[in-house]
């Protein structure tokens, strides 16, 4: 280690002198001496040329642009790679020790993403290539760096000119969520403006009514709010990136089912105003209102890169397919539930920007409701129910900050949401749910407090499979559920006649019969349990055992759509992400009296006494 450091110091010293001359050949002001890389050495080669264009992005107000990166490398090799760095001067002043579990490339300030020039034919012959990167506005300038030596012992051979968005601080990626009341919509977005620089707000109006402004709050989080580094974690070390400022405004006293137009605004101290483009949404129906209501539910979607780049934790091959199918059907969708394992950023904080940019067409138009999963929350000794390291050190902080959800306490990710004829009770499997806990009390209150005559469709949601799944890894444990999953909760589902329970975490699709304590029969027979965790992440195989209650299984990417036509008809559809085709469907048809009728273990004590 000591020797390696010494060698690196020598490189840096050499670089200092070569930098002076690099001004002349147009490679500009790259502060390469700041690069400090665990396993990376500097091998700058003045015969390597990298040019990125256009230099100014988003000059028409776009928040996403394609950038051409022209490379000319006299010594091309098949394992060369190009990293996208932002800020452009990839500074390593805060380089931390890790436990060696991070995936290559091991660079202190991680590239946002990277691509192999070899993906374009003839690169290894000619050394000339033009790579196309899709770049989003992430509040800082950008550079492209060419490395030889593969991912495991990268050598930096060249860096491009800097490109930047016209306004890097612009307000971007609005996401809607239901507020705490049915007539409230919240808008959350990201910008580079802190409150001392500009006042954030939403300007909005119903079509045909006067527009008004609602103030927005501003929050953020710092490197120190990531979990302790003692176990080695990307969130506080190599994966850290400034998340900017997160603003949320509450649009209140909305009319039911009305179209609204809105835009994000920041009043600068010098009196001018920065505007986003205009967006629209349709406000929620009144609870109990009889009208068409269409709900999308899925888990574990993650993100993908449309330009074919690689990134850290890049294992959600179905993500873009699911996103695109939902965008295609968006005019027939009213609300979306993404039930945990949201970005799989796993400590690489820049990926929250990538994710919010990817879902922007959806989340800016319909409420995007999230639940918390292991990849948002889990970290040892931080109060998560599981001591795993799946959050990469985020321990819930980015998820709780980047998205609004109507929880009482955003560190405890459970909440209820009313949407017309639906009541959703969203649990947080990364905190204890067993009988006697605070969360158990919440779940019972949520299930018990809904009037089924007006809101007949009662839905339970949780990330891990608290109900039933014949997934392979549960099978190996000799079980069909998350350990301790349903033991506490199934009497609540039965007592309160939950229609459907949805889970993610297991990356496939499975639907059960109405089931209660392993048997099924009767009028309200039991809850139908659905695993819908196949929205993006690599698929999970099923166990070879398939009990009778497991009705339909699909090892593929997909999501669920619920369509409530009225108080007595609910259509359930499972659609494939590849083509949007319905692969499994059924209808629940019933009168509300059927819900109120007593079923096994759901009966109140009665008396015939006069
Ligand atoms: C206010 O500041 C912004 C950003 O610095 C600038 O673009 C704008 O022209 C200024 N407006 C006025 C009225 O000076
Ligand atoms: C957005 O809507 C506002 C208010 O209706 C309007 O003044 C503005 O010109 C619109 N902006 C764009 C870019 O269409
Ligand atoms: C409810 O909707 C279903 C499906 O569209 C329809 O067949 C049924 O007639 C409707 N029932 C009532 C009472 O409107
Ligand atoms: Fe999960």
Radius of gyration over every alpha carbon of the chain, rounded to an integer in angstroms = 26
Question: Is any atom of ligand 3 closer than 6 Å to the C-beta of 566?
Answer: yes
Structure tokens at 127: 């050394």
Tell me which residue has its CA closest to atom 10 in ligand 2. Answer: 278
The answer, yes or no, to whether any atom of ligand 3 lies below 6 A from the CB of 218, is no
Q: Which ligand is nearest to the CA of 166?
A: 1
Q: How many residues make up the chain in this entry? A: 610
489 Cα to the center of ligand 1, angstroms: 57
- Cα–Cα–Cα angle for 389, 305, 397, rounded to 5 degrees: 35
User: Two tokens at 7?
Assistant: 């060698």
Structure letter (DSSP) for residue 119: G
Q: Cα of 276 to ligand 2 centre, how many Å?
A: 9
Identify whether 208 is preceded by a cis peptide bond (ω within 30 of 0): no
Q: How far is CA 357 from CA 172, 266, 350, in A?
A: 8, 20, 11
**What whole-number distance in Å separates Cα of residue 213 and Cα of residue 218?**
16
Please tell me the residue having the least CA distance from ligand 2 atom 9: 278
What is the DSSP code (8-state) at residue 200? E
The answer on pLDDT for 161 being more than 60 is yes
pLDDT band for position 36 (cuts 50, 70, 90): very low
CA 102/CA 113 separation, integer angstroms = 14
What span, in angstroms and rounded, lies between the C-alpha atoms of 497 and 519? Answer: 15
Q: Which CATH code of 1.10.1370.30, 3.30.56.10, 3.60.21.10, 3.40.50.150 fits the domain covering 288-596?
A: 3.60.21.10
Please state the pTM of the whole predicted model: 0.91
Q: Look at residue 236 in the predicted model and tell me its pLDDT.
A: 87
Distance in Å, CA 589 to ligand 3 centroid: 9
Neighbours of 354 (CB within 10 A): 23
Domain ranges of the chain: 2-165, 288-596
- How remote is the CA of residue 566 from the centroid of ligand 3, in Å? 6
Nearest atom of ligand 1 to the alpha carbon of 269: 1
Going by the DSSP 8-state scheme, the letter that residue 446 receives in this structure is H
Indicate whether residue 568 lines ligand 3 (CB < 6 A): yes
- Ligand 1 within 6 A of CB of 268: yes
- Bridge partners of 246, per DSSP, are 190, 219
The tens digit of pLDDT for each residue in 82-131 reads 999 999 987 544 455 555 555 556 567 789 999 999 988 899 999 999 99
pLDDT at 608: 59
Instruction: Judge whether residue 286 has pLDDT over 50.
Output: yes
pLDDT-derived band at 45, boundaries 50, 70, 90: confident
Share of the chain above pLDDT 90, in %: 75
Query: 3-class DSSP state for residue 597?
Result: coil
How confident is the model at residue 5, as a pLDDT? Answer: 30
Average pLDDT in the 181-194 region?
98
- Grouping H, G, I as helix, E, B as strand and the rest as coil, residue 514 is strand
* Residue 13 pLDDT greater than 90, yes or no: no
278 Cα–ligand 2 center, Å: 6
């Amino acid at each position: 280690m000591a020797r390696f450091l010494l060698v690196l110091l020598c490189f840096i010293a050499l670089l200092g002198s070569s930098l002076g001359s690099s001004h002349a050949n147009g490679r500009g002001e790259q502060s390469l001496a700041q690069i400090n890389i665990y396993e990376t050495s500097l091998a700058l080669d003045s015969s390597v040329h990298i040019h990125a264009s256009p230099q100014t992005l988003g000059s028409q107000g776009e928040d996403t642009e394609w950038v051409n990166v022209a490379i000319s490398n006299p010594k091309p090799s098949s394992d060369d790679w190009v990293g996208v760095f932002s800020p452009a001067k990839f500074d390593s002043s805060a380089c931390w020790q890790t436990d060696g579990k991070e995936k290559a490339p091991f660079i202190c300030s991680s590239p946002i993403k990277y691509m192999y020039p070899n993906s374009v034919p003839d690169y290894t012959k000619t050394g000339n290539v033009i790579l196309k990167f899709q770049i989003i506005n992430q509040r800082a300038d950008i550079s492209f760096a060419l490395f030889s030596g593969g991912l495991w012992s990268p050598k930096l051979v060249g860096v491009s000119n800097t490109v930047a968005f016209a306004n890097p601080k612009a307000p971007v990626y609005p996401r809607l969520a239901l507020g705490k009341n049915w007539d409230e919509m919240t808008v959350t977005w990201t910008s580079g403006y802190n409150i001392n620089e500009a006042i954030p707000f939403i300007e909005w109006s119903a079509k045909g009514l006067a527009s008004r402004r609602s103030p927005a709050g501003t929050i953020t989080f710092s490197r120190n709010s990531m979990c302790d580094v003692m176990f080695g974690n990307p969130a506080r070390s190599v994966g850290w990136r400034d998340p900017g400022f997160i603003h949320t405004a509450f649009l209140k006293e909305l009319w039911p089912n009305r179209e609204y137009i809105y835009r994000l605004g920041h009043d600068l101290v010098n009196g001018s105003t920065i505007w986003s483009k205009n967006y629209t949404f349709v406000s929620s129906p009144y609870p109990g209102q009889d009208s068409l209501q269409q709900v999308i539910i899925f888990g574990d979607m993650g993100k993908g890169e449309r330009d074919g780049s690689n990134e850290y934790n890049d294992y959600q091959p179905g993500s873009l397919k699911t996103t695109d199918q939902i965008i295609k059907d968006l005019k027939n969708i009213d609300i979306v539930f993404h039930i945990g394992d949201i970005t799989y950023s796993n400590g690489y904080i820049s990926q929250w920007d990538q994710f919010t940019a990817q879902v922007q067409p959806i989340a800016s138009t319909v409420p995007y409701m999230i639940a918390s999963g292991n990849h948002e929350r889990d970290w040892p000794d931080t109060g998560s129910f599981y001591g795993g390291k799946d959050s990469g050190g985020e321990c819930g902080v980015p998820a709780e900050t980047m998205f609004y959800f109507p929880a009482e306490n955003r560190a405890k990710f459970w909440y209820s949401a009313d949407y017309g004829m639906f009541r959703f009770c969203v649990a947080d499997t990364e905190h204890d749910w067993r009988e006697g806990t605070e969360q158990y009390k919440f779940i019972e209150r949520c299930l018990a407090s809904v009037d089924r005559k007006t809101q007949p469709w009662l839905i339970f949601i949780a990330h891990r499979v608290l109900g039933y799944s014949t997934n392979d890894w549960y099978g190996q444990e000799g079980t069909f559920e998350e350990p301790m999953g349903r033991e506490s909760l199934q009497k609540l589902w039965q007592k309160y006649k939950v229609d459907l329970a949805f889970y993610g975490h297991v990356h496939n699709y499975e639907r059960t019969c109405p089931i209660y304590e392993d048997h099924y029969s009767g009028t309200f027979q039991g809850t139908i349990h659905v695993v819908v965790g196949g929205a993006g992440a690599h698929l999970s195989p099923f166990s070879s055992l398939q009990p009778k209650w497991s009705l339909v299984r699909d090892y593929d990417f997909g999501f669920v759509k619920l369509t409530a036509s009225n108080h007595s008809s609910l259509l359930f559809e499972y659609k494939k992400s590849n083509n949007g085709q319905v692969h499994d469907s059924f209808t629940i048809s019933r009168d509300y009296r059927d819900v109120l009728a007593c079923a096994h273990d759901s009966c109140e004590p009665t008396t015939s006494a006069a």
